[in-house]
Structure 1
Amino acid sequence: SWSRPPCPMSPEEKLDPLPDNFILQPPVFYPVIPYVTTIFGGLHTGKMVMLQGVVPQNALSRFQVDFQCGCSVQPRPDIAIHFNPRFHTTKPHVICNTLHGGRWQAEARWPGLALQRGASFLILFLFGNEAVKVSVNGHHFLHYPYRLPLSRVDTLGIFGDILVKAVGFLNINVSSLGAKAWVAAVFNVLWHLDREVPCSRALPRGLWPGQVIIVRGLVLQESKDFTLSLRDRSAYVPVTLRASFTDRTLAWISPWGRKKLILAPFLFYPQRFFEVLLLCHEGGLKLALNGQGLGATSLDQRALERLRELRISGSIQLYCV
């Protein structure tokens, strides 16, 4: 049912503190290698790290991605997960290992790596209960059981012969989909560095079940609203999501301008990062904000397939779509 918006926030009202998992980490574009960064909130089951880049044509031997327990130089920190593609041999392969107390443990080796010099790649690290699963260019490649507690990992390090275009951090606890379905969905994401809002993105083939739209940005200090809309070829707007920073409401806006409030804590705060996910399924779109499922809006399959444009506007700095 359609509901009235609540009263605007009074000047004396204080904002509730946000849990740590709502303080999201923005993507990083074209970092200088070697690159070391803190993982906001550390690693936990259900977290994903995406690495997009290119193996340089003149690469000498290898690169490595380390999930570290700290970032000290001396003594060297423990490395819970050492992911080390090697492509200097006739048969490219990957070595995984763990460094504990300054000593490497037994190597684990996987042959058949689909990476060559000059090749682009998209690597996804999906952290489960007992092991990390790694996909390369949309195909599952390996799983490596943890040898150190995942809760100790708080640092990501990238080293070696590699050009990194983007590093992204995602949560997957937004629906009941299994990990395999999320891997398939996430690989449809296309990363952009967008500084200008409003922003428009074409949807050449519309939407269909399994697709996910991810929008990540930063709420500006002087903020009014944020709007995400989906339009068809005739510029008809069947889907609009609007966050009003003045009265702290999040709502679906009908094509006739009526509001349907989303009954959930308001999570858009000045100078805080946010992540909006729209997951397409049979019958509509599921919504998640900062990794938390917030329900769905109904839309039949024909209407989804007719959508051709995504538009974003408002008082935000846009990082990726």
Structure 2
Amino acid sequence: MAFVPAQGYYTLYNPDIPCRSPIYGGLRPGMAIYITGKVSKNSNFFAVNMGCGQYDGTDIALHFNPCFKGRDTVVFNTFQSGSWGGEERKNKGIPFRRGNPFEMAILVQPGSYQVNVNGIPFYEFRHRIPMERVQCVHVAGDVKIQSITTVGSGAPMGGPAYPPGGAMIQPAYPSMNLPVMGTPIYNPPVPYYTNIPGGVSPKRTFIVKGFIPQGGQSFHINFKSSRTNDIALHFNVRLNENAVVRNSLLGGGWGNEERSAPFNPFKAGQYFDISIRTGNGRYKIFVNGQQFCEYAHRFPNVQMIDTLEVGGNIVLSLVQI
């Protein structure tokens, strides 16, 4: 079962550091770069660069550099024509800690990059180099990266599936057969409810990204029909049972639980991304880019499934339907 990403949603998982993750077609307003990882216990620094080429010495439109030597500081800058520009520094409210996980989001705006860390606005950096020139995200330093995700990318069909140092999930849609995706919702509240315009249809992918805090016991994702109040798919992560339960609530009664899985990727204190793709006869569910399970349709009229619910002990980063 091959992973098929949502349109415009492409991820590099667990790359070696340093690494470069390509951005096809350049940046444009409304796009976002999500990076999840963990600062090394003895880290002196790490850097995230929005590079204008995939080679050393290229111009850098945004240099984001947390430093942990002495007073914790984050340095912002650009590198152009072989020279660094004027530094911008932030010395207060630094959210990065040695040995701790983090998630940073670089939201591309018409006049600036809005950088959020752990779901909270951190810094706004005004454009000095046209965003359209950016071709890749470059990460270096004392950090372990779980994923680099480009939301809103225009990656071309085909291309290498696995570049050096990580697994790059490339688009695999046949031409003229692209599913319609909605606008990503960033950092929505939990519980989260949203309508699925037009209902569920085959070859449609739903994305849920989030974080399980320490002490979190469970969370769930429900695909429901507002007309019947049935739950076509109940995806329930139960950390207290070390289980991921799948089930359906039809006609007021729960069916038989499905629990078998090759591994359990969910742990407290870690980030996750879940991709649920609706096939003709089943849901295909991937976690962190890896095949996790399939779930056969028990509610056959999928077009009547028009509501997505997410609840439980998690912090949501992004939902895309």
Smaller-chain TM-score bracket? 0.5 to 0.7
Aligned with residue 260 of structure 1, among 296, 299, 303: 303
Q: Which amino acid aligns with 1:158?
A: V
Deviation string, structure 1 residues 157-210 (Cα, Å, up to 9, x no partner): 1111111121112239834x8xxx62346997248xxxxxxxxxx9636669xx
The corresponding residue for 2:182 is 174
Q: Which residue of structure 2 aligns with residue 35 of structure 1?
A: 19
Cα gap change, 1:185 to 1:158, in 2 (>3 Å):
farther
**CA, structure 1 residues 116+256, in 2 after alignment: closer, same or farther (shift >3 Å)?**
closer
Q: Scaled by the length of structure 2, what TM-score is found?
A: 0.53
Structure 1 residues 134-145: aligned runs within 5 Å: 134-145=115-126
Q: CA deviation at 1:93?
A: 1.6
Q: Secondary structure at the match of 2:27?
A: coil
Structure of larger gyration radius? 1
Q: Which residue of 2 aligns with 1:294?
A: none
Q: Percent identity?
A: 24
Match of 1:189 in 2: 209
Q: Give 2:319's aligned residue.
A: none
1:93 counterpart (63, 69, 73) = 73
Q: How much has 1:56 moved relative to structure 2?
A: 1.1
Change (3 A) 1:66 1:36: same
Which of 65, 89, 101 in structure 1 is aligned with 2:48?
65
Q: Where does structure 1 lack aligned partners over 5 or more consecutive residues?
A: 1-21, 192-201, 209-227, 246-252, 262-284, 286-296, 308-321
Closer/same/farther in 2, CA of residues 259 and 108 from structure 1, 3 Å limit: closer
1:56–1:162 Cα contact (<8 Å) kept: yes
Aligned residue for 1:260, secondary structure, equals helix
| Residue ranges of structure 2 left out of the alignment (5+ in a row) | 1-5, 154-180, 191-206, 212-216, 224-231, 237-245, 252-275, 282-295, 313-321
Structure 2 counterpart of 1:123: 104
2:219 is aligned, of 195, 200, 204, to 204
Structure 2 CA distance for partners of 1:46 and 1:255, relative to 1, 3 Å: same
In the other structure, the counterpart of 1:158 is: 139
Q: Distance in 2 between matches of 1:65 and 1:171?
A: 19
Question: In the TM superposition, what is the alpha-carbon distance from 1:72 to its structure 2 partner?
Answer: 2.9
Shift of 1:79: 0.5
In structure 2, the CA distance between the partners of 1:306 and 1:254, relative to structure 1 (3 Å rule), is farther
CA pair 57-230 structure 1, distance change in 2 beyond 3 A: same
Corresponding letter in the other structure for 1:148: I
- The Cα of 1:23 is off from its aligned counterpart by 6.2
Runs (4 or more) in structure 1 with deviation over 2 Å come to 22-26, 171-175, 183-188, 202-208, 228-235, 240-245, 253-261, 304-307
Structure 1 segment 268-307 matched on structure 2, within 5 A = 297=306, 304=309
C-alpha change, 1:234 and 1:118, in structure 2 (3 Å) is closer
| AA aligned opposite 2:55 | S
Q: 1:46 aligns with which of 30, 35, 45?
A: 30
Residue 53 of structure 1 and its aligned partner are, at CA, apart by: 1.0
Distance 1:159 1:231 in 2: 36
- Tell me by how many angstroms 1:234 deviates: 7.0
1:235 corresponds to which residue? 248
Aligned mates of 2:53, 2:280 — CA distance in 1: 39
Cα 1:165–1:256 shift into 2, 3 Å = closer
Tell me the CA shift for residue 71 of structure 1: 1.7
How far apart, CA to CA, are the structure 2 residues paired with 1:135 and 1:49? 10
* Further displaced range: 33-42 or 145-154: 33-42
